[in-house]
Amino acid sequence: MNLHDLTVIDTEKIALEDLFFSDENKNALTQIIKEHQYIQELQKYNLKADNKILLHGSSGCGKTTTAKAIAQKLQKKIVIINLSTIIDARIGETSKNLKAVFDKAIREKAVLFLDEFDQIGKSRDSEDKDVAEMRRLVNTIIQLFDYFPSDSLLICATNHYDIIDSALLRRFQLRLKYDLPSQEQLEIYYDKILGQFPKHFQNIERRFGISYAEVLDYIHTTMKKQIIASLESE
């Protein structure tokens, strides 16, 4: 595993203020960002900034985008790991890979984003056939969590909150749920995205009950069809 390739340098500018999620989630994330912005002042009072966040819920509702926006707000690098890519058939190798990832984030005081956290954080009480090996892996993760310094930030994401080990869940100071957006929220999102295109392309059928990512894909696909049809009719 080449750790150099794991550091993501995002050229896309993502402002936290532009993201769509509940006021409760926005307020909680704003608080944790401020704690890291004033971390030295807090340390004078022996107060540590919260530095472990779990984002869980529906796919395509902004968990990865949130992590990128937080890193940009804090002017930190972000190390993005899809945990399915570092899992080895040998649990010992997986633990070694994880430690290397954590060490890199700590050295660089980076934001470490672990996607599909359920791949490694599965409950030790599960009926998995390799439960003994999974217990050892979860124990390793607990140790990595416990020694993760407060000047770095760990963000994990999962679509399967219910299978995460309870001891790991307790170590997240902040656990935020991402639900599918309401029709009202999607109306605002449609207006924002469609506003980037000429008015004669904006009158499209609006679909609801889907995620922000699905809406974005739907709009882009529809726009490409309309633009190409317009060009071919000239």
Digit-coded pLDDT (tens) for 136-157: 788 889 999 999 998 899 999 9
Q: What was the pLDDT predicted at 31?
A: 95
Q: What was the pLDDT predicted at 127?
A: 57
Q: What was the pLDDT predicted at 199?
A: 93
Q: What was the pLDDT predicted at 172?
A: 96
pTM of the model: 0.83
Q: What was the pLDDT predicted at 89?
A: 54
pLDDT < 70 regions, the chain: 1-13, 87-92, 122-133
Residue tagged 């499209």 (tokens): 204
